[in-house]
Each structure stands twice: as structure tokens, then as C-alpha cells.
Amino acid sequence: MDWKDLRKCELRLNFTRSLLTDYIGHLYTSSGRIQMASKSSIFLRQAATLALSDYKLPTLTAYRLGVMLFDLYLAGEIHGKKIDVRNPLPERRHYTQVLQFLLSYGVLNSMRGFPSGAFYTLIGRSEPTAPELICAVDPFAYLSHLSAMAIHGLTDRIPHTLFVSSPSPQQWRSAANAQMRKDLGDRLKDYLEAGFPPLLRTRFDKVLGQPVQLTQSSHLGAFKKLEPNGVKVSTIGRTFLDMLREADLCGGIQHVLDVYKQHAKSYLPLIVGEIDQHGTDIDKVRAGYVLEELCGLQIETLTAWVKAAKRGGSRKLVPKNPYSSTFSKKWCLSLNTD
């Protein structure tokens, strides 16, 4: 057993001791007088520890803790136990006092590398991975590009950099407001006026020592959540679309074309469905060329996609590469892979 394991055992013992003390009911107020909870009720800090014991993820944002405490206070009970509350609505001090209690006994620990008071890890949980941290800190972020390719088994490359997609600032703020309305409903105004933490964006360049390549796009991507760790990753269809849009974030165009040749047939319905629904005309032209002329796949949808090809234009297969005279006449596309 190393020192980290010993430290965890010490924190658990302190935490258990604190719970026993609280349940006895001997807690002092700031005036020095003993504050007693009735035998049938528990304090908010006790309720918080019970709620956290049900919380499955290894990390917690200040906002998520705020919502948890706000809901507990208004509910007035947890697991059939009545919570000792004195006012109709919670105040900022309730959040601060419970947070300090949880921090002092090691139930929560501030996460290094993030702004103070924004993000916490929970006692007794496994150490979070970098992807778990990213998806917990930013509820609208997901792994994409080369990181998603690795998760889906589309590449044998192991990216040192984490490739992450998240909405543009304006869309993120709109999504955050919508999430708070969903979480709190008509109590949102009371929550914010009480000084409880709102859902805010946290920026990061590295997580647990791993560089993060963040792509902010107006194209809100399709992703799925991996259970039970809460990590979100772009769907296979969206991953193939991202490969053609930003090949430089997916190992380069030659690697992208190799992946298409090796895997496109297996995932063809997902690829076609994603691009047909969410792709632009140029996305359909690029994908149509790759699927038909490089992968040798013939599907009816390509007949509709080829109509998006425009003669006389300067469309390129690789958006960021210089124009090339090598050309696909059918798809009106410069094949600028070099």
C-alpha cells in the first residue's frame, strides 16, 4: 500500500467520524451554542454526503454541486430522512458552509489545473482520466477527430493530444442557459439570486499533462455518451464527416483516405446518413468522390450528391491544401492531396 492509498484510508476514516458526529447532533453555531438536529432529521451537510454517495461520476463541478444542494434544500428530505431547514429558500451561506465541510474532511478535493472553486474530485472514486475530466468540466464538449477515430477503432495511431469539439462561445452560452432552465425550471431565478454558482465555461490547454486541441464550431456535432464514465465521443458518421472537413486533425489526408478505404464499406449507412442530413454541398461532393472513386462503392444517394458538383469552380478535396490541376471531372473537384 503506497502513501496515496494510506491517505485515502485516512480521509475515509475522518469522513466516517464526521458523519457519526453529525448524526449525534452536536454541532456548534457561530455564537458558540450547541445546535441540535432532532432524531428524525439530518443537517444539510449530512444530506449532501448522502447525495454524493449516490453520485456515480468521479468528478463534480461547482454548478452541479450547487444544483444538488439547492434541490436538497427545497425537497426537505433524502432517502426518507427529513432535512433540517429553517428558511423557505437556501442562501449562499448554505452552499459555502456545506462546501467547506466537504473540503475539510476530504469528501471533495479541488482539482489542480482548473480555476479555484470550479471543479472537484470525490473521495473513494477512481482517479478520473483526462477525457472524463474534459467532459465533466464542459458538458457540451466531446472527443472528436483523431481521438474519436481511436475510440471507434478506425486508426492504430495513439494520439498524445486530445482532440475535443465544443460549441462556439455564443452557442455555448445559449446551451448553458437552456441546461440551467432544464435543471432548475422556474426556480432558476431564485437559484441565481441566492448566489449559487451558474454554469460557466472553463478553458484549458492541458488536462493531466495532455495537450488539448479544442475545435469550436458553429456545426453542433452528433455525439454519444460512453457509459458509465460519462465520456462523450462523436458518432461514427460524424467522425467520418470530420475527417473530410479537417483532415489535418485526423492524421492527415493520406491517413484519412486509408481509413475510408479500409472502413467505409462497414459503416456506409452511418456515413451516408450523417452527411446526407448534416453535410453541406461541398461535404457531399468530397464524400461522394471518396466513396465512389476511391472506395469503389455504388449507392443511389451518390446520384443526388453529384448534382451538388459545380463546374468552373475552385472546390478542393482538402480545404487547407493549395489548389491542384489534378481533377475529378465528374465531381468537379481538385484532387489536392499532395
Q: Taking all residues of the chain, what is their mean pLDDT, rounded to a whole number?
A: 87
Q: Model's pTM, two decimal places?
A: 0.83
The pLDDT tens digits for 260-269 are 999 999 999 9
Sign of CA dihedral 212, 218, 219, 221: positive
Give the pLDDT confidence score for residue 9 in this predicted structure. 53
Q: Which residues of the chain have pLDDT under 70?
A: 1-39, 218-221, 312-313
Give the pLDDT confidence score for residue 5 in this predicted structure. 53
- For 118, other C-beta atoms within 10 Å of its C-beta total 15
| Grid-cell match 492531396, residue found | 337
- CA dihedral of residues 284, 285, 287, 291 (deg, nearest 10): 120
Q: How far apart are alpha carbons 205 and 212 in whole angstroms?
A: 5
Give the pLDDT confidence score for residue 60 in this predicted structure. 92
Give the pLDDT confidence score for residue 112 in this predicted structure. 82
Give the pLDDT confidence score for residue 41 in this predicted structure. 85
CB-CB contact of 208 with 158 (8 Å): no
**Domains in the chain, please, with CATH?**
1-128 (1.10.10.10), 251-334 (no CATH)
The pLDDT tens digits for 29-49 are 334 444 445 557 899 999 999
The pLDDT tens digits for 293-306 are 999 999 999 999 99
Give the pLDDT confidence score for residue 118 in this predicted structure. 87
